Amino acid sequence: MATTPVVNFITGNAGKLREVKAILEPAITVLNESIDIEELQGTVEEVTKAKCRKAAETINGPVLVEDTCLCFKALNDLPGPYVKWFMQSIGHQGLNNLLAAYEDKSADAVCTFGYSPGPGHEPILFQGRTRGKIVPPRGPNDFGWDPIFEYEGQTYAEMDKDKKNQISHRAKALKKLQDWFAQQKAN
């Protein structure tokens, strides 16, 4: 009898944990540890791999880490992997102001998960992208930049959570992770 894969998702963000569990379980069991891991500066792939390696060493076992980006096309993909720091510093209105001088308000929401079976293993990356646009904040202000990212007429914050968990950048990346685990189980 095949056992259910187990991942230890390293995050202190309750919203991310809730979404990951809603998308992956019960096919993949999601445990959680909140460990503050220093983030390298670089591309989202470099940041995710470094975070994954450090988490695997810290936990001494299998880990799942995530890095989320918001890439403004007019700004050559900035703020990108640094959106968390931009949000803390300038908030939703500041992010909107960054695009005030530009006609192009398009943006990619990018989610990259890194999985490692443990220390010494090269992390495997799973990435999802959703193209949308940046708008003035709408909807509940309880999860990151969701109120300013619009996809098909609604901001992520305005969407029903089940709908968002089917179409989001995070859902797309986790679908790739699920497919990979299913392939590993089949081999």
CATH fold of 6-186 reads: Maf protein (3.90.950)
Rg of the chain, C-alpha, whole Å: 17
Residue 34's nearest CA partner among 69, 58, 9 is 9
For CA atoms 49, 52, 56, 57, the dihedral sign is: positive
Q: How far is CA 109 from CA 6, 9, 11, 59, in A?
A: 26, 20, 19, 29
Given this model, what pLDDT does residue 14 score? 92
- According to DSSP, the residues that pair with 182 across neighbouring strands are none
Given this model, what pLDDT does residue 185 score? 82
- pLDDT greater than 60 at residue 1: no
Confidence of residue 134 (pLDDT cuts 50, 70, 90): very high
State the maximum Cα–Cα separation within the chain, in Å, rounded to a whole number. Answer: 59
What letters, b where the CB count within 10 A reaches 16 and e where it falls short, cover 122-150?
Answer: ebebbbbebebbbbebbbeeebbbbbbbb
